[in-house]
Structure 1
Amino acid sequence: MKTNKVTKLGISLLSVAALGVVAPALTNNPVFGVSIVKAEEQQKPLKYRIDYIGESGEKVAPSEFGVLNPGETVNIYKDIEGHEVVSRFEWLPGYNMDYDTLSTYSGFVDGYNYMYLKYKKLDPAPTPKPDQGQDPAKPDQGQGQKDPAPAPTPKPEVKPETKPSETPKPEVKQETKPSETPKPEVKSEPAPKEEEKQEPLKYRITYYNIETRETLGQMTGVINPGQTINIYKKFNGHEIISKDSWMPNYDMTYDIVNEYFYGSVDGYNDLRLEYKKVEEPTPEPAPTPTPTPEPA
């Protein structure tokens, strides 16, 4: 008699169960040395907008718009005639912007991930003066011309002998009176240019969990020239991971805000400090006091 295949399969499954082998569930716990990895969160393309801003806040070049996909890198630098870029960020080397940089450091305005680069105006180059050894209007006479005919040798001039009575008398110069002595011209030095007035800067600090992509808090305010503000904040169960050499101890100065923060169209200079979650140690229970026996 033939054995039923279904019966065989059922016996096999019962045998596996009897041996204590269980099919692995979709968890992160290792089963027989194998770990099941969850699918990564799908990263969508990011729309971006880059503005090129002058010293007084005006645009010095048209804005740059585009879409950046995961794994792509775009160079956002522009060579603008008569201007020099002054924005320099450690997290944007060579002005090469990748997906993670755009996602982490940009602001968000009108559906776009937003950044701007600051430029300053260059002084005009001085006009070169023509060579004083040669008249610029006349070409060099030694090029492309025939040698000129030799000039005739001049004859020596014959001067008539002067008679004793005709001997010229030496010229007597009149002495100048002290009041007529010309005074040296005193040129007034140009007045130093008035330094550019530095206005207060609005700033906004966002405290950001890099793992869960949630905002832990924000701090906004205004900083004046010469002022220093410490922007560090402690959050329970979190540890700060942003460490920038240009901001020791998280002491923010006016120059740091002006140079390293990125601007938003709402007038704020933005910076993001990143945190990660840490597991806090479970407190050990206090030992139960041993009861003291009462004297009999």
Structure 2
Amino acid sequence: MSGHFAALDAADFPAFEPGTVWLVGAGPGAPGLISLLGYHALGQADAIVYDALVSERLLALANPRAERLYAGKRGGKPSEKQADITLRLIELAGQGKRVCRLKGGDPFMFGRGAEEAMALAARGIPFRIVPGISAGLGGLAYAGIPVTHRDTNHAVIFLTGHDETGAVPASVDWAAIATAAPVIVMFMAVKHLASIAARLLAAGRDPADRVAIVSNAALGHQQVLEATLATLDTLPADIPTPAIVVLGPVSQYRGALDWYVGPHRGAALG
């Protein structure tokens, strides 16, 4: 395998033109889960506007001359307003810079990437979307949880646990969600998990349904907590975040598929 990655030096990557913005998914945590196009963008960028969930190990792979601009938003902590972040992207592109907007997970999976891209499009600023591995897929995989298995589910629902105000989304039809799919994957739901569980139970969801909470997915300090929908109150009150929550039978496979242990936890790239 010697020199294998060197073959990419001559690869025909798309040009990252000055004055353009690439919205890049960084993946769920481990630096090695970024895509080849994402890695290319990091190496070519003049400015990198990155989220709170982007690791320093991933940023270490970027162009050392690139300007790095933190734009992290975490619940309950002082955060930049989305409008200010979007304006920054527009201004940097207007300065003729190659702008890499680096977002945890996937830009279009509860990542506000569509809003940023719409604003760029309205200003006539060229952009490219570089999809990333969503925590709702890759984060669960690192916990030994397949998001689907033909013996348990042929459907899955992805939802966010809070809206732009920080409250439980009022627009979600919880009665419909409760019975629409055997597996529900929830982003940013830890804060309101008890309230969400109550809504699902009231709508007829089985109290014995499995729940798994994967904190700091795909990182060396990843942690997994398990309960049932009815016993969530037995879990610690201070569950680490960021966390992804999965409700449904697929967490039963963790016993056989929990591979991210031992020396795997020490691998720098994941």
- TM value normalised by structure 1: 0.21
**Which of 1 and 2 has higher RCO (CA within 8 Å, sep 6+)?**
2
Name whichever structure is richer in helix by fraction. Answer: 2
Name whichever structure is richer in strand by fraction. Answer: 1
- TM value normalised by structure 2: 0.22
